[in-house]
Chain A
Amino acid sequence: MRTADLELAARCRAGDADAFEELYRLHVRRLYSLAVRMIGSADEAEDVLQEVFLQAHRKLAGFRGESTLGTWLYRLTMNHCLDHLRGRQAKISRATGSLDEEGAVEPVAPTPVVPSAISRMDLERAIDLLPPGSKAAFLLHDVEGFEHREIAEILGVSEGTSKSQVHKARMKLRMLLSR
């Protein structure tokens, strides 16, 4: 896997246009899905992904194989998404929370409150209401299937922070889905 990544990166650095398209095709669907859910807008996610791949094209010279190409691209994507959300927040002061926001402790109900039949749209809408920090960790862990160790690398936080953010997200979703 690592050898294949290094080979693909080397071909891209050498100016092989087919190699860069191969890199794009390999990763774009998962990265685009992540960006749509992080940002909550397909149009804006498209703009962000365009920037991500252009930056990847410029920065491939810096890829040394310490992580997989996929993890490296997830890191670029998440950085762009969080920057985009910060910019949006500054412009419209929407209550999206902040990366360091301490989520309010939700009351713990004594019986299950999440209905057994929830539509995909219900969950997508609830995820969209999460603060960026816990949304990022939740999407990477529960949707994309990354381990906390990998999320820590992608988000540049500790494993403990990743676990804490996923917990906050699940608690918030539990509350939102019970309404």
Chain B
Amino acid sequence: MCETYDDLIDDYIDGTRAADHPGDARRAAFESHLAGCTRCQAVVEDFTSIRRMASALEEHVPPPRLWAKIAGTIEEKPRRISAWIPIAAAASLALAIAGSTWLAWMKSPADTLRQVTATVEEPSEAPAETQYEQAIAGLQQLADARNASLDPNTRAVLQRNLAAVDRAIDESRAALSDEPASAFAQESLFDALDTKIALLQDTVALTAEDVNQ
């Protein structure tokens, strides 16, 4: 019965052949059947024509007013852009990029990085901000040393993100200077410092990936 081979007819049209699947007896049986079946040959010929014509269909061109309408609607609802949105975006971007490489990096002999990041995790007599600064300085040194090995586009993105974080750190420090007792300003500063450490860790992880490749 030809109908039992319906699913294989489509695979055949789409380029999957018995030779690609050694041991697939059903596929091989279909191709033997096809050689002598005018009905299946007709379907193959028609499906091939349909597929060829479909892939050659031209694109429809959207009218220019479509973007104008979309842009107009977006502008009617302006988003309140705070200084933290670029930071969050930068952090999520960098974390997403590094996600798959970070574990591999941590399994490599990255003792230097671990020593550097440990400075913010271990108890210390030094003030918290000083510990952050020490960790950032160490990571920055590592990142600077390996920065040249990064893909230029990735390096540009990371540098833009770090610049955004630095601006946020400056703003937080200014706010804390105006209101030294403000817990919110203190928390904002630590958040920004945490973000910078995460970004630098990601930068170092990405450079490690390039080095390991």
Contacts and interface: CB of A to CB of B under 8 A. Distances in A.
Interface string A75-114: 0000000000000000000000000000001001111111
A108 B39 contact: yes
A51 to B, nearest CB: 9
Interface string B46-84: 110111011101111111001101110110000101000
A125 interface: no
A126 to B, nearest CB: 9
B154 interface: yes
Size category, A interface: 35 or more
Contacts of B67: 21, 24, 28
Interface in A114-162: 114, 116, 118, 120, 123-124, 127, 138, 142-143, 145
B42 A113 contact: yes
Contact of B153 (A4, A21, A124, A145): A4
Main secondary structure of the interface of B (DSSP, over half): helix
Given A14-B85, A50-B73, A118-B49, A6 B96 contact: yes
B70 A46 contact: no
Main secondary structure of the interface of A (DSSP, over half): helix
Contacts of B13: 170
B50 A174 contact: yes
Contacts of A73: none
B37 to A, nearest CB: 9
B86 interface: yes
Interface string B1-41: 01100110111010000000000000000000000001110
Size category, B interface: 35 or more
Contacts of A173: 50
B42 A108 contact: yes
Interface in A2-59: 3-4, 6-7, 9-11, 13-15, 17, 20-21, 24, 28-30, 32-33, 36-37, 42, 45-46, 49-50, 53-54, 57
Given A64-B96, A110-B38, A116-B49, A46 B66 contact: yes
A29 B50 contact: no
- The 3 A-B pairs with the shortest beta carbon distances in the complex, nearest first, are A10-B93, A142-B54, A32-B62
